[in-house]
């Protein structure tokens, strides 16, 4: 049975469907990513999936339990990492974990027995007695992740787990998430970082205006939706050269002062640029961000 199954879910706020006939099925032991611009409906989808809000139409099951009626039961076996840290600032690291354990019905002794491994997992082994305000942003995120694991969940739901973290802290969180996947846990995560999604997710749903507009493995999404090479061109004289780029490439997109040339034959473009001599360029393989921008557009949302 899939850890999460959503079928035709619709959620309306003020007459607008912010989640619109959305279906999703998670594969056990895999990481599924939800990508979408701001306001696309990712957080609302997570809240529906956890049974925290009720859909206007459609149905779903979380760990076999009907949503939203039996969701509280299912949530006993789910870990949640919310977007904003909701740690208790008056408590130490250890006390935060203990308090959360009690919420899942663990005795103090049971919770205490789990804490050393969780602190170790989160790279907070020496910080058990530190108070929350003394922790760095990365440490707080890792504590929130450790806290979400106190009930040894089968499914972990993460809403933008690395937003606001520096590269070092992001890498530490990724290591932790990979270990969870290795342990056989199922992950559902939202992120704005395409490299994060590409690194962690087996499968990705791209959501826009409440609908899933593409879903596949990162590699398959790239192969299906985008040319394999990108040449980013910028510098003095771009306007004069742009017509040449457009003739040479399958698809070109101008964003600000940069022309993105999507092509199967990058040498034709870079040779022409070398002959032109003045423009600067960056040749790179196409990535998930290119797919995301192609499917959802380059306009700012919200
Ligand atoms: P995302 O997580 O993709 O940024 P959200 O699911 O948070 O998107 O929001 C989707 C849309 O639903 C947004 O336009 C947001 O303003 C609206 N929305 C979310 N929650 C509520 C609510 N409780 N009441 C009214 N509108 C809401």
Q: Report how far ligand 1's centroid is from the alpha carbon of 205 (Å).
A: 18
Give pLDDT tens digits for 25-74.
999 999 999 999 999 999 999 999 999 999 999 999 999 999 999 999 99
Burial class (CB in 10 A: 0-12, 13-18, 19+), 16: exposed
Ligand 1 neighbours by CB, cut-off 6 Å:
13, 18, 36, 38-44
pLDDT of residue 248: 94
Q: Which of 188, 186, 217, 193 is nearest to 203 (CA)?
A: 217
Q: Report how far ligand 1's centroid is from the alpha carbon of 40 (Å).
A: 8
How crowded is the C-beta side of 90, counted as CA atoms within 13 Å? Answer: 1
pLDDT of residue 186: 98
Residue 165 predicted with pLDDT over 90? no
Q: What is the mean pLDDT of residues 139-163?
A: 95
Q: What is the mean pLDDT of residues 277-285?
A: 95
Q: Report how far ligand 1's centroid is from the alpha carbon of 272 (Å).
A: 46
Q: Report how far ligand 1's centroid is from the alpha carbon of 220 (Å).
A: 29
pLDDT band at 214 (very low <50, low <70, confident <90, very high): very high
Q: What is the mean pLDDT of residues 236-244?
A: 92
**Core vs surface per residue 145-155: b (16+ CB within 10 A) or e:** bbbbbbbebbb
CATH 3.50.50.60 corresponds to the domain 25-35+73-222: no
Residue 302 predicted with pLDDT over 70? no
Give pLDDT tens digits for 123-147.
899 999 999 999 998 899 999 999 9
The number of the ligand 1 atom at minimal distance from the alpha carbon of 207 is 3
Residue 230 predicted with pLDDT over 80? yes
Residue 168 predicted with pLDDT over 90? no
Fold of 227-285: Alpha-Beta Plaits (3.30.70)
Q: What's the predicted TM-score (pTM) here? A: 0.93
Q: Report how far ligand 1's centroid is from the alpha carbon of 122 (Å).
A: 31
Please check whether residue 122 is in contact with residue 176, taking contact to mean a CB–CB distance below 8 angstroms: yes
- Which residue has a Cα nearest atom 22 of ligand 1? 13
Q: Report how far ligand 1's centroid is from the alpha carbon of 58 (Å).
A: 18
Q: What is the average pLDDT score of the chain?
A: 95
pLDDT band at 221 (very low <50, low <70, confident <90, very high): very high
pLDDT of residue 60: 98
Out of 11, 33, 41, give the residue to mutate to test ligand 1, the one with the largest number of ligand atoms within 8 Å of its CB: 41
Give pLDDT tens digits for 245-280.
999 998 999 999 999 999 999 999 999 999 999 999
pLDDT band at 169 (very low <50, low <70, confident <90, very high): confident
- Which residue has a Cα nearest atom 19 of ligand 1? 44
pLDDT > 90: percent of the chain: 89
pLDDT of residue 84: 85
Q: What is the mean pLDDT of residues 77-81?
A: 97
Q: How far is CA 184 from CA 30, 134, 154, 162, 230, in A?
A: 8, 33, 8, 21, 36
Q: How far apart are CA 142 and CA 42, in angstroms?
A: 22
The number of the ligand 1 atom at minimal distance from the alpha carbon of 159 is 2
pLDDT of residue 85: 82
Domain boundaries, the chain: 25-35+73-222, 227-285
Say how far residue 289 (Cα) sits from the centre of its chain.
Answer: 13
């Amino acid at each position: 049975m899939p850890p999460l199954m959503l079928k035709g879910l619709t959620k309306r706020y003020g007459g607008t469907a912010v989640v619109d006939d959305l279906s999703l099925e998670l594969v056990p032991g895999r990481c599924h990513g939800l990508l979408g611009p701001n306001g696309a409906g990712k957080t609302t989808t997570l809240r529906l999936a956890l049974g925290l809000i009720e859909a206007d139409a459609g149905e779903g099951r979380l760990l076999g339990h009907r949503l939203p009626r039996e969701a509280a039961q299912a949530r006993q076996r789910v870990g949640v990492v919310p977007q904003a840290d909701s740690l208790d600032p008056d408590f130490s690291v250890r006390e935060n974990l203990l308090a959360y354990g009690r919420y899942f019905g663990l005795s103090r002794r049971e919770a205490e027995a789990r804490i050393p491994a969780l602190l170790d997992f989160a790279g907070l082994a020496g910080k058990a007695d530190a108070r929350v305000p003394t922790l760095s942003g990365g440490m707080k995120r890792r504590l929130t992740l450790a806290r979400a694991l106190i009930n040894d969940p089968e499914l972990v739901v993460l809403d933008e787990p690395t937003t606001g973290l520096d590269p070092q802290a992001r890498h530490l969180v990724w290591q932790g998430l990979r270990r969870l996947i290795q342990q056989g846990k199922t992950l559902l995560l939202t992120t704005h970082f395409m490299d994060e999604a590409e690194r962690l997710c087996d499968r990705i749903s791209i959501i826009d205006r409440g609908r899933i507009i593409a879903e596949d493995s990162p590699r398959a999404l790239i192969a299906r939706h985008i040319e394999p090479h990108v040449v980013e061109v910028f510098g003095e004289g771009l306007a004069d050269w742009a017509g040449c780029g457009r003739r040479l490439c399958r698809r070109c997109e101008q964003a600000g002062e940069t022309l993105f040339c999507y092509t199967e034959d990058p040498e034709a473009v870079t040779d022409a640029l070398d002959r032109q001599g003045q423009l600067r360029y960056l040749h790179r393989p196409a990535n998930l961000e290119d797919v995301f921008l192609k499917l959802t557009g380059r306009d700012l949302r919200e």
